[in-house]
């Protein structure tokens, strides 16, 4: 269940349904209670247009930095339980509206390819709503296989992001 040394893990948090600001804040608060895990930092919240169908409401996004002794599979299962408790349905349209989305973005300097989990997150280099909050927390970060946060930020349009907290 628990790994030996705590890993530095970054979690993407997003919502565009059922009071998205409240959903994101509640999820960040809930991360504090994960076993063998400590919430190190959390970014500001950002409002962004939806990725996917344009008819859906804007998203609110943030990133949390954790130190965890959990294994990747155990952490993923815990995050999916939090999503379910906050009303996430996995039967909805891909990239469609959701009450909560929790994604493991980075797991230290490791690359992982497990059933249902790829780390670094496959879309990390293309998503300003992930890169801006990541840069806020860890501007020095190097993403395995992608390069520095600074390099990736230079390749995305962050003009549609609005910091809301």
Q: Distance of alpha carbon 117 from its chain centroid, rounded?
A: 13
Alpha carbon distances (Å) from 1 to 33, 36, 70, 84, 108: 16, 9, 6, 21, 18
Could you say which of 4, 101, 127, 157 is catalytic? 101
Could you say which of 67, 103, 127, 165 is catalytic? 103
The pair phi, psi for residue 45, each rounded to 5°, is -95, 145
Asked whether the beta carbons of 117 and 82 are under 8 A apart, the reply is no
Could you say which of 73, 88, 111, 163 is catalytic? 88
The CA-based dihedral angle spanning residues 70, 75, 77, 83, taken in that order and rounded to the nearest 10 degrees:
150
**What gap in Å lies between CA 42 and CA 44, rounded to an integer?**
7
**What gap in Å lies between CA 101 and CA 87, rounded to an integer?**
10
Could you say which of 98, 110, 127, 165 is catalytic? 98
Whether 58 is a known active-site residue: answer no
Whether 157 is a known active-site residue: answer no
Task: Give the residue numbers marked as catalytic.
Answer: 88, 98, 101, 103
């Amino acid at each position: 269940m628990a790994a030996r040394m705590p890993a530095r893990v970054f979690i993407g948090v997003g919502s565009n349904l059922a009071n998205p600001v409240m959903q994101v804040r509640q999820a960040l608060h809930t991360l504090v209670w994960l076993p063998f895990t400590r919430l190190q930092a959390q970014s500001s919240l950002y409002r962004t247009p939806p990725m996917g169908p344009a008819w859906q409401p804007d998203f609110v996004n943030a990133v949390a930095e954790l130190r965890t002794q959990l294994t990747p599979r155990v952490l993923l299962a815990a995050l999916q339980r939090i999503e379910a408790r906050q009303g996430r349905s996995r039967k909805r349209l891909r990239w469609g509206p959701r009450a909560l989305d929790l994604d493991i973005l980075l797991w230290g300097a490791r690359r992982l390819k497990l059933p249902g989990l790829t780390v670094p997150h496959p879309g990390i280099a293309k998503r300003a709503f992930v890169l801006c909050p990541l840069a806020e927390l860890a501007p020095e970060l190097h993403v395995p296989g992608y390069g520095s946060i600074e390099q990736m930020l230079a390749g995305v349009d962050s003009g549609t992001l609005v910091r809301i907290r």
